[in-house]
A and B are shown apart, each in its own frame.
Chain A
Amino acid sequence: MSLPAMIKLKNRPVDPEALAARFIALENHEITHDRLVWRMRTNRDEAIAGVPDWQELRELASQIKEHTLTHLDDYLEQFEENAKNLGTIVHWARDAEEHNATVHEILKSHGVKSLIKSKSMLQEECGMTPYLEKRGIEVTESDLGERIQQLSNEPPSHIVVPAIHKLRTDVAELFAKNLGTDGNNSDPHYLTEAMRENARPRFMKAGAGMTGANFAVAETGGFVVCTNEGNADIGASVPPLHIASIGIEKLIPRARDLGVFIRMLSRSALGSPITQYTSHFHGPRKGGELHVILVDNTRSDRLGSDDFWHALKCIRCGACMNTCPVYRRSGGLSYGATYSGPIGVILDPGLDLSKYRELPFHSSLCGSCSEVCPVKIDISDQIYKWRRVVAEKGLMRVSKAVGMSALGKVLPHPELFHAAELAAESALAHTPRFLLYNTLNPWGKHREMPAAAPQTFRQWYIANRRPK
């Protein structure tokens, strides 16, 4: 393949519709995925039924985040000062490249050859793992779902359950190939135990542990990591070096604000009142060293966007994915990005508009995401607005642009509109089936066309109700 062709391939926009169609065609995968992820939504509903002031909590959470973001510079400085006072070493990174280089520098200076990490969407966003691996550092994901994805050479498909798009048989096959387990045994208990046995020695030999952070508390200079496995805790408590990557939008003002967010996070994500481990880090542990990297990577840009800055409130709970009917049918990999689901639709175009120009259309605009978001991000409205941005930047698919332009010229004019109606009626009534239902007619692939009506409403009205 020629170089220009390779570049074109790499920069080709993600086609979520085609990827979704492929996932749906797998049948068993899509049906299972939809059922499991919907159950996370219903579990969330049940959990919230026990918290009668849930709407008040949402409003509170939203305001705390909005306050922090509208005073972000102060809180960043406050966090840095308090973190340093605890003995934490604080770094800043403008973009993904700088983040990765900083991590590498820390590891190199400590002679670290193998690293174990817990889940971090930010590190995924920065492409940290391939960067480090190219430089000879062994990186192990310790979260089960992330490790499954790492072994599959795929990004996570869901923020909370990264491999939920896989069947247990897929995992059995994967582990047989990579961990030497019995490929015929797809019992999740067996597979999880196999991973536990495999991961322990890696924790023991790692020269450093890395985590992300769910919340960074300005008042105390510490941060919080929420997991169900406790893998972040092992990674932070065993190797002597702990590095945490923190997006600048993760700041919250005070320790007491954690009460609000911790009560909402896991209820929104999975329907349990809290994750099994809610871990707070304030300065290096006894005999250890703690580094924190505060990362911008387009966040300060987004802050300056009237339409889109509210997306920075996100606490990465995944509730929007769970409720999204499109996400559940398509699978998270159909978004072709670090962030999938509704939050992905409004974040990814900000990271790369050209690559993710189709994502805002991978939505029926049902609005369910906005209703479940614990911090009241107007996700659905932002999806709508991103469509305008894509159109204004001339990135719309040509066929769609042409079609909409034509509609835009016909619909303002009654005579043209009525002529078009007559033509459509005639086509429906007279075109033979094999012509009407072909590959050029996407509607007709899985649905029957509407029948031609004997007359339009307008024609009936003129005949029966013509005003005097």
Chain B
Amino acid sequence: MTNETIGTVDFSESAKEKKIGLFIPCYIDAFFPQVGIATLELLEKLGCSVEYPLEQTCCGQPMANSGFQEDSAATEAHFVECFKDFDLVVGPSGSCVHHVRVHLDAIDEAPPVRKVRDSTRELVEFLHDHLKIDALPWAEFRHKVGLHDSCSAVRGLGHTRPSELVCKPYFSKTRELLKKVRGVELIEIDRRDECCGFGGSFCVTDEAVSAKMGYDRVNDFHRHGVEYIASADMSCLLHMKGVIDRLKLPMKVIHIAQILNGGPL
């Protein structure tokens, strides 16, 4: 994961005055629409003007991460086409946003491409860094929550200090947001930011390793009495939910957007 710099987007006006394009990753559209709904409702509650471009499909990450740069080009071009007229693009997925900002390079970098890449934000960083929200009066979630920051979030987008960087002061944007939700009890686990094993196509090509990593991570949460595993990345949760359901463990998964919006649907 590169420590990439966020491109310049002018925030001299309030973020609320920006025209925001809602980016809903393909797998959320297909399997977890409630996460998209929660994201949209949350942004609207916070006074943002949000539109969902109906023609969007995918950011190209599945192909790009597998090394198929050529195969991702058309998808990436389509993504740019869908979002080029917005001031900002906001999406509830760390790995997808990381891909857009850092790896959307299968197509030539014309001005619209550069603009879209620079103006794409993941939900947590948008709420924390740009909207700088200090209260979520509608949000209550009286449960034991285990926070799972995805690898893209930790080492790609800087949501939190990676555990490897021992001497740097600790910070966590996700925790700060969750602290504003009444009743959330954040539970510490043994391996705070170890990878859950989803890894994109890795989850099926390296199935035994992926599953074992998933089992270990889920058990770490379970061992510590977690009721809900919360994350800003639904892909990790999809993988961990698969494990939870197979093991029939008494845990649920939930996206941060759903908690911040006021409980799961």
Task: Tell me if chain B binds chain A.
Answer: yes
Residues of A near any B CB (own CB < 8 A): 16-17, 20-21, 24-25, 30, 34, 38, 45, 48-49, 51-55, 323, 325-326, 329-330, 360-368, 370-372, 378, 380-381, 384, 386-392, 396-397, 400-401, 404-405, 407-409, 411-414, 417, 421, 424-425, 442-443, 445-453, 455-462, 465, 467
| CA gap between A465 and B37 in the complex, in Å | 10
Residue of A nearest to B191 (CB): A38
Are the C-beta atoms of A417 and B65 separated by less than 8 Å?
no
User: Would you give 18 A-B contacts (Cβ < 8 Å), ordered by A?
Assistant: A325-B213, A364-B202, A364-B213, A365-B200, A366-B194, A380-B155, A384-B65, A387-B65, A396-B68, A404-B68, A450-B32, A450-B242, A455-B33, A458-B54, A459-B33, A460-B33, A461-B36, A467-B51
| CA gap between A326 and B212 in the complex, in Å | 9
Are the C-beta atoms of A400 and B167 separated by less than 8 Å?
no
B184 within 8 A of A: no
Which residues of chain A have C-beta atoms less than 8 A from B230's C-beta? none
Which residues of chain B have C-beta atoms less than 8 A from A360's C-beta? 67
Are the C-beta atoms of A400 and B201 separated by less than 8 Å?
yes
Q: A450-B238, A453-B33 are in contact. Are A400 and B205 (CB under 8 A)?
A: yes
| CA gap between A444 and B21 in the complex, in Å | 35
Name which of B10-18, B140-148, B158-166, B175-183 contacts chain A. Answer: B158-166
Mask of B51-71 contacts with A, CB within 8 angstroms, 1/0: 110111110101101111111
Q: Within the complex, which residue of B40, B68, B163, B211 is in contact with A405, where a contact is CB–CB below 8 Å? A: B68
- Which one of A49, A325, A378, A390 has the highest number of Cβ atoms from chain B below 10 Å of its Cβ? A325
Which residues of chain B have C-beta atoms less than 8 A from A396's C-beta? 66-68
Which residues of chain B have C-beta atoms less than 8 A from A51's C-beta? 167
B24 within 8 A of A: yes
Ranked nearest first, the 10 interchain pairs of A and B with the lowest CB-CB distance are A447-B242, A387-B67, A364-B199, A408-B71, A446-B211, A367-B1, A457-B36, A371-B164, A21-B208, A448-B245
Q: Within the complex, which residue of A372, A390, A408 is in contact with B72, where a contact is CB–CB below 8 Å? A: A408
| CA gap between A30 and B198 in the complex, in Å | 19
Near A by CB (< 8 A), chain B positions 77-96 give: 77-78
Chain B min CB distance to A399 (Å): 9
Chain A min CB distance to B62 (Å): 6
Are the C-beta atoms of A370 and B1 separated by less than 8 Å?
yes
Q: A329-B209, A365-B199 are in contact. Are A421 and B165 (CB under 8 A)?
A: no
Residue of B nearest to A420 (CB): B30
| CA gap between A405 and B1 in the complex, in Å | 25
Chain B min CB distance to A22 (Å): 8
Which residues of chain A have C-beta atoms less than 8 A from B30's C-beta? 421, 424-425, 453, 456
B260 within 8 A of A: no
Q: How large is the interface on B (under 10, 10 to 19, 20 to 34, 35 or more residues)?
A: 35 or more
B170 within 8 A of A: no
Chain B min CB distance to A15 (Å): 11
Are the C-beta atoms of B205 and A404 separated by less than 8 Å?
no
Are the C-beta atoms of B31 and A48 separated by less than 8 Å?
no
Which residues of chain B have C-beta atoms less than 8 A from A458's C-beta? 24, 29, 52, 54
| CA gap between A388 and B65 in the complex, in Å | 9
Number of A-B contacts (CB under 8 A): 241
Residue of A nearest to B57 (CB): A417
| CA gap between A425 and B30 in the complex, in Å | 8
Q: Within the complex, which residue of A45, A54, A404, A409 is in contact with B66, where a contact is CB–CB below 8 Å? A: A404
Query: With contacts A326-B209, A367-B154, A371-B162 known, what are 7 further pairs, Cβ within 8 A?
Result: A24-B209, A49-B166, A325-B195, A412-B74, A417-B58, A443-B204, A467-B51
Q: Within the complex, which residue of A21, A391, A412, A450 is in contact with B241, where a contact is CB–CB below 8 Å? A: A450
Chain A min CB distance to B44 (Å): 9
Are the C-beta atoms of B52 and A461 separated by less than 8 Å?
yes
Which residues of chain B have C-beta atoms less than 8 A from A421's C-beta? 26, 29-30
Are the C-beta atoms of A48 and B214 separated by less than 8 Å?
no
Are the C-beta atoms of B203 and A457 separated by less than 8 Å?
no
Q: Within the complex, which residue of A414, A447, A450 is in contact with B211, where a contact is CB–CB below 8 Å? A: A447
B215 within 8 A of A: yes
Are the C-beta atoms of B71 and A405 separated by less than 8 Å?
yes
Which residues of chain A have C-beta atoms less than 8 A from B109's C-beta? none
Are the C-beta atoms of A448 and B242 separated by less than 8 Å?
yes
Mask of B216-254 contacts with A, CB within 8 angstroms, 1/0: 100000000000000000000011011101100000000
Chain A min CB distance to B168 (Å): 7
B28 within 8 A of A: yes
| CA gap between A59 and B214 in the complex, in Å | 34
Which residues of chain A have C-beta atoms less than 8 A from B73's C-beta? 408
Q: A24-B212, A411-B60 are in contact. Are A462 and B54 (CB under 8 A)?
A: yes
Are the C-beta atoms of A368 and B155 separated by less than 8 Å?
yes
Mask of B127-163 contacts with A, CB within 8 angstroms, 1/0: 0000000000000000000000001001110000011
Residue of A nearest to B68 (CB): A404
Chain B min CB distance to A278 (Å): 24
Q: Within the complex, which residue of B28, B167, B208, B241 is in contact with A54, where a contact is CB–CB below 8 Å? A: B167
B206 within 8 A of A: yes
Are the C-beta atoms of A55 and B167 separated by less than 8 Å?
yes
Which residues of chain B have C-beta atoms less than 8 A from A381's C-beta? 1-2
Are the C-beta atoms of A457 and B33 separated by less than 8 Å?
yes
Q: A384-B65, A404-B66, A412-B74 are in contact. Are A371 and B155 (CB under 8 A)?
A: yes
| CA gap between A378 and B243 in the complex, in Å | 31
Q: A405-B71, A407-B71, A417-B26 are in contact. Are A445 and B164 (CB under 8 A)?
A: no
Are the C-beta atoms of B202 and A449 separated by less than 8 Å?
no
Chain B min CB distance to A441 (Å): 8
Chain B min CB distance to A337 (Å): 17
Chain B min CB distance to A333 (Å): 14
Chain B min CB distance to A389 (Å): 8
